[in-house]
A and B are shown apart, each in its own frame.
Chain A
Amino acid sequence: MAGNFISEDERWDLVDRVSGCIVTYGIYRQSLRDVIGELTVVPLTGVPVAMAVLYAFWSIFGSFAGALMTDGFMVKLFDNYWLPWLQSVWPDPDGWLYFLFVGDPTADNCFEAFGMLTSGLFVSLGVVLWAVLIFYLMMTLLEDSGYLPRLAVLVDTLLHKIGLHGYAIVPAILGLGCNVPAVTATRILETRKQRFMMMTLLAIFIPCGAQLGVMLEVIPDSVGWVMLYLIAGFAIFGIVLDKIIPGKNPEILIDVPAYHIPDWNNVGKKLWMRTRGFLKEAVPFVMLGVLLVNLLYLGGVIQAISNFFEPLFVYWFGVPKETAGPLVAAFLRKDLAIAQLSAIPMTAYQMITSVVLISIYFPCVATFVVMLKEGWKQLLASVAVLICVVLVYGGLIHAIGILLGVA
């Protein structure tokens, strides 16, 4: 064995020979991409660029998912062809099976029919599919072009103020697509404190792509206000959680790649993988969600819950007591719950409050299951935080409305 060892000098000679073969020495010349890369992480130029990128992101999201696919084609397909056909062929409009699968026999659009084969299919395939598809395409392009790590560096200082570091932007943006992979992505954070905080804030304040898609349909003019309330809540409760939860908030080193044009093969594969995963989870949940909520309506459970929580809803949150039904549905699918709100008569501010409440209320059951996988103690703690947040923030939004004279 001793014959196999080499001396230290020989080892360094070997290192020199190997590096001589594989390393090319030269003078570094800064390229235009390098300088642009640097400018996008400096706050003075980086923040305006981030605003432009986010603007483009949401503009493309709204144009494609809202104007083109849902309003342009899907509404017409479902309301002019699918719903009338289903209403004409399904027997016994007064029967409970009709109520479960087709919904309201007088409805003239799939949003308000609320049957499993009408609203269930329309929400999942007519609205959510396109919202998720374009969201993940944009997200993948940001990731693969090298912008996302720069955004992480840029927001690092800001997120440190609420006990997180820059890379928390990754689960936050992923959460805008679907909270399920976003909860898993919180594992990239360093400490238990940061993971718990991000998971809790995600579950409460980050609306998923499906929810955003339905929000664009139901309250296109008020989405900005809802997002403003959610962002403000994220910041306020982030600071509070940072103060009360013990633990560290260490710095991390981020590898920032050079800007490059994304490889379309990779983009295609990622897009397919993410959209397929989402559809496998979302479509059955939406369909079963409508079925279950209709069963609860038939059994009088929703009415009983509405009556029980009436004082809380009407006096504390300032919303109609009928909002209890969508809130129960929100546990199954939040997008579905927002679609349900469209059928309840209320003022514009009550609608904003109701949508915010649905967003900050319990995470959907799929997210709940993934959170449970991360640990039941953490889940219980998150739920406790969530209940406090719903009560405090819901009341606060109502108070703001009263002060502004709109509630």
Chain B
Amino acid sequence: MDIKKSSSNEKIGGLSIYVMVLGAVAVAFGCADILVWAGFSSGLNLGIIEIAGDDFFRWAWGGLVVLMGGLIMLSGAVDAGEIRQFAKVTLGALMLLMIAGTDIFARLCENIPAGEEAPEFFNSLGGFIGGFAPPYSPAILLLPFVLVIVYLAVKYDGEN
């Protein structure tokens, strides 16, 4: 998935296909977030993935950001090695990264304290680690794939 190679040789290379798949999945996840929040389902729990849909801020606003991040990635998918297109892909990836990052940060903040009823101030190590167990939000599931784009962008920025 080299940016310069795909730029010079082909409009739809490995990077483009990767971005198309990732963007399409992000769009689907964003739509699912919003639809569950809107009441089309009482909450979605498919093993590793969970959409609670109980909060406007997280699922409607956050879902809209995931949806738009996916669309921006898709708009840069064709000829993704060209700098303007790759910038769109990076921007979409950064939007998904913000949602996933804030989801993880929220879990971190919730799991450091022991909880309201417990007499201690800090959570036990087991309790803290257990707080990061599945199910995850769709944005967190997309995170490893988004980080590939971020890595390519950092590498590209460093080389140029």
Interface residues of chain A, those whose CB is within 8 Å of chain B, are 29-33, 35-36, 39-40, 45, 48-49, 51-53, 55-56, 58-60, 62-64, 67-68, 71-73, 75-77, 224
* Bound-complex Cα distance A63 to B107 (A): 8
Q: Contact: B68 with A48, CB < 8 Å?
A: yes
> Size of chain B's interface in residues, with CB distance under 8 A?
37
Q: Which of B4-12, B18-26, B109-117 has 4 or more CB atoms under 8 Å from chain A?
A: B109-117
B87 at the interface (CB under 8 A from A): yes
Which of B32-40, B43-51, B96-104, B140-148 has 4 or more CB atoms under 8 Å from chain A? B96-104
Complex contacts, A40 vs chain B, CB 8 Å? 91
Bound-complex Cα distance A63 to B156 (A)? 33
Are the C-beta atoms of B72 and A31 separated by less than 8 Å?
no
Contacts A36-B87, A56-B102 supplied; 9 other A-B pairs, CB < 8 Å: A36-B90, A40-B91, A48-B69, A48-B71, A48-B95, A49-B95, A52-B94, A63-B105, A73-B113
Contact across chains for A45 and B109 when beta carbons are under 8 A apart: no
A81 vs B55: C-alpha distance when bound (angstroms) = 33
CB<8 Å pairs between A and B, sample of 18: A31-B160, A35-B87, A36-B87, A36-B90, A39-B88, A49-B91, A51-B64, A52-B99, A55-B57, A55-B61, A59-B106, A63-B106, A64-B109, A67-B109, A72-B112, A75-B116, A76-B116, A77-B121
Which one of B69, B102, B160 lies within 8 Å of A63 (CB-CB)?
B102
Interface of A is mostly: helix
Considering the complex, give the chain A residue whose CB is closest to the CB of B61.
A55
Known contacts A48-B72, A72-B112, A224-B57: A56-B101 contact under CB 8 Å: yes
Q: Is the CB of A52 within 8 A of B56?
A: no
Cβ of B62 within 8 Å of any chain A Cβ, yes or no, is yes
Once the chains bind, are B153 and A32 in contact (CB under 8 Å)? yes
| Candidates A56, A62, A73; contact of B121 at CB < 8 Å | A73
Which residues on A sit within 8 Å (CB–CB) of B153?
32
Q: Which residues of the partner chain B approach A224 to less than 8 Å between Cβ atoms? A: 56-57
Contact with A along B55-87 (1 / 0, CB 8 A): 011100110110011011000000000011011
Q: How far is the CB of B148 from chain A (nearest CB, A)?
A: 16
Contacts of B56 in A (CB 8 A): 224
Give bound CA distance, A40 to B73, whole Å.
Answer: 14
Q: Which chain B residue shows the least CB distance to A33?
A: B157
Given contacts A32-B157, A35-B83, A45-B88, contact A72 B113 (CB under 8 A): yes
Interface residues of B in 132-160 (CB under 8 A from A): 153, 156-157, 160
Most interface-central of A32, A48, A67, A73 (chain B CB within 10 A)? A32
Q: Which listed residue (A32, A53, A60) contacts B90, Cβ 8 A?
A: A32
Which residues of the partner chain A approach B84 to less than 8 Å between Cβ atoms?
35
A45 touches B98 (CB 8 A): no
